[in-house]
Chain A
Amino acid sequence: MARRNRSGTARPPGAGPAVSGARLWTWLMLPGTLWMTGFLLASLLLVATLAFGTTDPLGNPRFGLNTDNFAALADPAYRTVLLRSLGYALITCLICLAVAYPVAYAIALHGGRFKNLLIAAIVVPFFANYLVRMYGWSVVLSDDGPLLKALRAIGIADDGTKILQTGPGVIAGLVYGFVVFMIIPLYAAMERMDTSLIEAGRDLYGGPLRTFLFVTVPATRQGAAAGCVLVFLPAMGDFVSAQLMGGPDQIMIGNLIQDKFFQGQNWPLGSALTMLLMAVLLFGMLGYLRRTRKDEAEAVR
């Protein structure tokens, strides 16, 4: 998106001749792009070819040309788990949107001189290892943990209420794990937003809610779309949340893939599952790309 601004909007005056500027950017981008493309393609090809492979007696993957691994995916268990993962990731996205919008709005438009401090307060906890934070979260949500104790004390929960090993428990973990990926792009979008639009909305007698829904949300929808992608993709592949917060009925596709690679040491089947997951995610990404391209076309026009 940053790139669109650079190419789509007028360059600031005094930025030098256009050609050498463009060339500089190309050169600066080259190493990173090559690095990413090279390793992405290499690992993708490895996974793609392994999916047709077998496992030798020591558990080492061997390359081959058999389709057993894809045939094994017909097991209805995989469909159930895949659909469940899609559902969890979608709900996670929606909750993250609901949580992140007010946060980003408050910081971007009313943060004043505390803006950077507030953003740091949100980002710094993410320096701690994801797994450690999730473990901590699972302690907070456990049967004898502080949250349920407090809820029991005020009479909202009873002795039988539990959060761990339930669907909402897993989603709570996912939201907790990934909400920052929604806040940051939304914050960036709101920072860039022309605030006179909000004033215009008010001038036209829009209440705060209407102004928010019909002015702020459309103006920041690119940030929201980026946030959704950033949350949805890792949520879909996550295995930690379902492992720590879920029970037998909350297994996600990430757990199955992790099982194949680690416990079962069946890398070929794990690779086939990964391909399946990627195919599903690709649909989502294509939708996103089409959406942003349309937006870009409109913006240019």
Chain B
Amino acid sequence: MSPEAHSLSRRSFLRAGTAAALGLSVAGCGFASEDDPAGKAAEETPIDVKVDGDLVYFNWADFVDPAVFEGFEKEYGVKVVQSNFDSMEGMAAKLNAGNRYDIIFPTAKWSERLAAGGKLRTIDHARLKNAEAVFGGYDYFADPWYDPGSRHTVPFTMYKTGIGWRRDRLGDLTGSWDDLWNDKAKGKVFVLDDRDEVLGMGALKLGLDVTTGDPNDLARITDTLRSLRPRLRGFSSDSYNNLLNGNADMTQAWSGDMAAMLAQAEDPSVFGFEVAREGAPVNSDCYAIPADAQHPGTAMLFIDYMLRPENVKKNIEYIGYPMPVRGSEDTYSALVEPFPQCLVTTDDLKDDRYFRNGTAKGEQHRDAAWTDVKAG
């Protein structure tokens, strides 16, 4: 496989289908558009920060306070055209199929992939009035591993992975991933329906790299997870509903979801959230502007608008995820007072705690390991 990424637009995909139908397919032939130097230059051109049309917005559902959208529409006289994805893969597939958006919210790992594939415009931070609070306050994001110099992205939210549990049924836990093996919770344990998170949990328990693609490491991880399987009730990323409706006594959970649960729980003291001492995977979502965005200027204005302190506060309170914006820390710690471990500090931000992109072979090994874990 060629190391450089090729885009596969909807048209070329159909063309590929036709070619295949005609029996013209040739080994190794990618059916992908060739590298386009003019397109590269366009991606690098700084974006004029001005209203150039309505904002076509693409994010997880419910990830921005509706009041913030309304404010933006009013102030700039534009409409926000919303659509949602339910997975990073789904988002990438839509982008690759040629759908055009002005702003998207990839995770760190996907930011790296999309930028490497020439799918993102560069963002000149100097043109964003409020970017200083991000890059001045959180050094880590000034030059993150996934996007050197943060040239294509601005960080949006941060989160960790830990264990949420029913304090009323299990009492206190020990603060280790071993807690998932707790006999009292047997048959009422969920893990996330997410390859990286589950394999990463096994890796951290064994002291291995969270994104290892090494077959020996993966064999050890799947062995460890096999012993968890009889205790598992399921794979589900709907962690807080599982806790709330009593199906789960304990579940692997994203910190932001647990914080969001606090708003819904009648009695938060019934629940707990801990982060394992062996280490917690950390992740961040980013703002990014696709290379083929039709209204990149409006997208720049939107990012700047989202970074205004009052909007950061509103969004944090609405979605329950902290944002790496200086001055927003108090808002978040007040929000997660019952679950202090939801806080993401600068100490948590470490390269080796992120899920990173592996080699093609490594990804294949991880896929196979995940099938083993899931299908048993």
Please give the residue numbers on chain A whose beta carbons come within 8 Å of chain B beta carbons, in ascending order.
41-42, 45-46, 49, 54-65, 72, 75, 77-78, 80-81, 142-144, 164-165, 246-249, 251, 255-256, 259-260, 262-266, 269
Alpha-carbon gap, A70 to B30, bound state (A): 20
Partner pick for B1 among A49, A62, A249, CB 8 A cutoff: A62
Write the chain B residue with the least CB distance to A69.
Answer: B364
Given contacts A45-B21, A59-B92, A144 and B246 within 8 Å (CB-CB): yes
Q: Which A residues lie within 8 Å of B89 (CB)?
A: 59, 262-265
Write the chain A residue with the least CB distance to B357.
Answer: A57
Interface residues as binary, B357-375 with A (CB distance below 8 Å gives 1, 0 otherwise) = 1001000100110111011
Contact size class for B? 35 or more
Given contacts A57-B113, A77-B376, A164-B247, A49 and B367 within 8 Å (CB-CB): no
Question: Which of B114-122, B145-153, B332-340 binds A?
Answer: B114-122
Partner pick for A248 among B232, B360, B364, CB 8 A cutoff: B232
- Whether B245 pairs with A75 at a CB distance below 8 angstroms is no
Q: Which B residues lie within 8 Å of A263 (CB)?
A: 87, 89, 193-195
- Whether B87 pairs with A165 at a CB distance below 8 angstroms is no
Q: Which B residues lie within 8 Å of A49 (CB)?
A: 20, 25
- Whether A57 pairs with B195 at a CB distance below 8 angstroms is no
Write the chain A residue with the least CB distance to B117.
Answer: A58
- Whether B234 pairs with A165 at a CB distance below 8 angstroms is yes
The 8 closest A-B pairs by CB, nearest first: A77-B375, A65-B27, A49-B20, A60-B8, A58-B117, A265-B89, A247-B234, A58-B5
B235 at the A interface (CB under 8 A): yes
Q: List 22 A-B contacts (CB under 8 A).
A: A41-B21, A42-B18, A42-B21, A46-B17, A56-B6, A57-B3, A57-B5, A57-B117, A57-B360, A58-B5, A58-B114, A59-B89, A61-B8, A62-B31, A81-B375, A142-B245, A143-B247, A144-B245, A165-B247, A248-B233, A251-B376, A263-B194
Total A-B Cβ pairs within 8 A: 138
B16 at the A interface (CB under 8 A): yes
Partner pick for B29 among A55, A58, A63, A264, CB 8 A cutoff: A63
- Whether B92 pairs with A265 at a CB distance below 8 angstroms is yes
A143 to chain B, nearest CB (A): 5
Q: Which A residues lie within 8 Å of B117 (CB)?
A: 57-58
Write the chain A residue with the least CB distance to B359.
Answer: A57
B226 to chain A, nearest CB (A): 11
B171 at the A interface (CB under 8 A): no
Partner pick for B30 among A62, A144, A249, A269, CB 8 A cutoff: A62
Q: Which A residues lie within 8 Å of B49 (CB)?
A: none
List B residues 20-72 near A (Cβ within 8 Å): 20-21, 25, 27-32
Write the chain B residue with the least CB distance to A46.
Answer: B17
Please give the residue numbers on chain B whose beta carbons come within 8 Å of chain A beta carbons, in ascending order.
1-8, 16-18, 20-21, 25, 27-32, 87, 89-90, 92-93, 96, 113-114, 116-117, 119, 193-195, 229, 232-235, 245-247, 357, 360, 364, 367-368, 370-372, 374-376
- Whether B234 pairs with A63 at a CB distance below 8 angstroms is no
Write the chain B residue with the least CB distance to A66.
Answer: B27
Q: Which A residues lie within 8 Å of B92 (CB)?
A: 58-59, 265
B21 to chain A, nearest CB (A): 5
Given contacts A42-B21, A62-B32, A246-B234, A56 and B376 within 8 Å (CB-CB): no
Alpha-carbon gap, A77 to B368, bound state (A): 10
B91 to chain A, nearest CB (A): 10
B368 to chain A, nearest CB (A): 7
- Whether B233 pairs with A165 at a CB distance below 8 angstroms is yes
A113 to chain B, nearest CB (A): 44
B283 to chain A, nearest CB (A): 16
Given contacts A46-B17, A59-B89, A63-B16, A248 and B245 within 8 Å (CB-CB): no
Write the chain A residue with the least CB distance to B16.
Answer: A63
B309 to chain A, nearest CB (A): 36
Other A-B pairs, 9, CB within 8 Å; known A57-B360, A58-B113, A65-B25: A45-B21, A56-B30, A58-B114, A80-B375, A81-B375, A247-B233, A248-B374, A248-B376, A264-B89
Given contacts A58-B113, A64-B27, A165-B233, A42 and B8 within 8 Å (CB-CB): no
Q: Which A residues lie within 8 Å of B18 (CB)?
A: 42
- Whether B371 pairs with A256 at a CB distance below 8 angstroms is yes
Write the chain A residue with the least CB distance to B370.
Answer: A264
Q: Which B residues lie within 8 Å of A72 (CB)?
A: 368
- Whether A60 pairs with B27 at a CB distance below 8 angstroms is no
Write the chain A residue with the least CB distance to B8.
Answer: A60
Q: Which A residues lie within 8 Å of B376 (CB)?
A: 77, 80, 248-249, 251
Partner pick for B87 among A63, A246, A247, A262, CB 8 A cutoff: A262
A240 to chain B, nearest CB (A): 14
B344 to chain A, nearest CB (A): 25
- Whether B31 pairs with A77 at a CB distance below 8 angstroms is no
Write the chain A residue with the least CB distance to B116.
Answer: A57
Partner pick for B25 among A55, A63, A255, A266, CB 8 A cutoff: A63
Alpha-carbon gap, A23 to B31, bound state (A): 42
Most buried by B among A41, A59, A60, A269: A60
- Whether B30 pairs with A63 at a CB distance below 8 angstroms is yes
Alpha-carbon gap, A260 to B234, bound state (A): 19
B140 to chain A, nearest CB (A): 25
Write the chain B residue with the least CB distance to A82.
Answer: B375
Q: Which A residues lie within 8 Å of B193 (CB)?
A: 263
Alpha-carbon gap, A260 to B360, bound state (A): 15
- Whether B5 pairs with A45 at a CB distance below 8 angstroms is no
Q: Which B residues lie within 8 Å of A143 (CB)?
A: 245-247
Alpha-carbon gap, A223 to B195, bound state (A): 43
B222 to chain A, nearest CB (A): 10
- Whether A77 pairs with B371 at a CB distance below 8 angstroms is yes
B89 to chain A, nearest CB (A): 4
- Whether A247 pairs with B368 at a CB distance below 8 angstroms is no
B218 to chain A, nearest CB (A): 13
Given contacts A80-B376, A263-B87, A263-B194, A59 and B113 within 8 Å (CB-CB): yes
Q: Which B residues lie within 8 Å of A60 (CB)?
A: 5-8, 32, 96
Q: Which B residues lie within 8 Å of A77 (CB)?
A: 371-372, 375-376
Alpha-carbon gap, A142 to B195, bound state (A): 26
B197 to chain A, nearest CB (A): 11
